[in-house]
A and B are shown apart, each in its own frame.
Chain A
Amino acid sequence: MAIEVLYFAWVRERVGLPRERIETGAATIRDLLAELALRSPGHAAALEDHAALRCAIDQKLTGLDAPLAGVREVAIFPPMTGG
Chain B
Amino acid sequence: MFRKILIANRGEIALRIIRACKLLGIKTVLVFSEADRYSLGVKHADEAYCIGPPQSSKSYLNIPNIIAAAEISGADAIHPGYGFLAENADFAEVCESCGIKFIGPSSRVISLMGDKIAARKVMYEAGVPVIPGTFEPVEAEKSALSVAKEFGFPLIIKAAGGGGGRGMRLVRDENELKGALMVAKSEAEAAFNNGSVYMEKYIEGARHIEVQVLGDGRGNVVHFFERDCSIQRRHQKLIEESPATGIPQRVKEKILESAVIGAKAINYESAGTLEFLVDENDNFYFMEMNTRIQVEHPVTEMVTGHDLVKYQILVAGEESLPIKQEDIVQRGHAIECRINAEDPYNSFLPSTGTLKLFSLPGGPGIRIDTAIYNEIEITSYYDSLIAKLISWGLNRDDAIARMRNALGEFLIEGLKTTIPLYLQIMDDPEYISGNISINFLEERGFLNEGRSERRYLS
Partners in one complex: no
User: Which positions in A face B, CB cutoff 8 Å?
Assistant: none
Which residues of B are at the interface with A, using a C-beta cutoff of 8 A? none
